[in-house]
Structure 1
Amino acid sequence: MLKRLWSKKGDTGAQALLPDQLENIPEHIAIIMDGNGRWAKQKGLPRIAGHHSGMKTVKRITIAANDLGVKYLTLYAFSTENWKRPKEEVEFLMKLPQQFLELEIGELMENNVQVRMMGEVEQLPSYTRKAVEEAMSKTANNTGLVLNFALNYGGRLELIKAVKAVAEQVENGQLQVDHINEELFSNYMQSRDLPDPDLLIRTSGEIRLSNFMLWQLAYSEFYFTDVFWPEFSEEHFMAAIQEYQRRARRFGGV
């Protein structure tokens, strides 16, 4: 699999890694895909052109992650705050999941990729919701990479809803306060079936979380790059992984 992805990359990418480094691939990588609009502006194109090019990057990085043995890839596709953007741009963004999944569902199936989603699904347009739900249903039995889209997702809203759910159970006598701990609370997160991300990547030079997975990223390694998402290549992805491999994760210990 690695040979197929990197066969034309010379000494870069997976071929530049030693066998022991290939064993230290992050299990779960989360990406804030940023910079589509600025990339388009630099090229004198409308913002929606940047989002369309960014969709192609999603495919490239999904294939790269799958080939490298990453088990979970979470992509921040649309935040609860993104509704504030111009109507035309929002409408285009809502159509992208449909376009991407219709075009790529065959290859996702071929590569044993399972599609998931976290976010406020009820607020999505019916065509967006239908496309994601159909992809999730078709790929439900796949056992390879889990491609998890954070769509209409907000970290603070997720935490508030989790707190409300816990409080309701305590109020109803279904849960004792003394039983509340990190492990239990994690079960109220939308990512309850996924391990916390080992590595967070954010493109475009911005250095902030933007309300993304605030609970889950507590001990993740962060990697920021100035590269805009449409230009984020397999080599950039590998550079982020190699940086991750150079770090010592102590989780508060020595």
Structure 2
Amino acid sequence: MVLHSCLLFAAVVDIVTSLYVYLARDMSFPTLAKAMYLPGVISLAFVDDVGDYMWQIAGTQSVYTSVLYSVVAVVLTYVLVYGCVGLGVCLGWTAKSKPSSVPTQNHISNTGFIRAAGEEMGWRCYLLPCLMSQFTPQVALLISGIAWGLFHVAVMILLTKKLKMVHPVRTVIVQCVSCVMSAYPHGWLAIKASYSVWPSTLLHFWWNRLNPHVLGSIYTNTPGVYCGHQWKINGEGLSGCVVMLPIAVLVSMDLNRALW
């Protein structure tokens, strides 16, 4: 894998996604969410051997670590989400509200899981190992995180405009930054599992269910069990950025030790 292939993949995914969001701008949020399939689908055009790539994704060469870090992924999801709750409560950003349902796009478990796998397949199973062949883990995770953050910008701009959110610019910015930070635990799980899709997908999937239920949806600007300004309290908002920072540091330290 050479560097230009890595960067070209990231650019193609982000551009195609932006075009998709523009064309689907008048459609429902579940339709917009289908953009999550694009990284995985596009990655198939970049790999040299699709068969080997699919075996890698399936985790057939790393069954034990795939299972182990899948369990870690679920635990980590709760740590991150309730870390945001604790931060928001301590700072007075959030308060308990009546429980809300999980957003419509996540009601069907198998669909939500497949969508999450579509993203993780492209970002963590193709782009990350591609970047790891050229850079240190910290730089590879940062670049992949930036690409992942930009992947969300178009839909966030559209939704903040359609829903007339109070702080549209800061909402778009903090959501993008939270994705950059979140790339560290997602990428760490993928690296530990030899770029199997399962652990990072489970983190992504459980996050997409738990975060909206507990903290609300930054995409639809609706409250969860806890209410407050979504750009501030959400796991994909400012709280998420703060809570994810020490996780990113710990991940970087662990990967540094592995190199030595």
TM category (shorter chain) comes to under 0.3
If each structure's strand is expressed as a fraction of its own residues, which one has the higher value? 1
Higher alpha-carbon Rg: 1
Q: TM-score, normalised by structure 1?
A: 0.26
TM-score (norm 2): 0.25
Which is richer in helix?
2
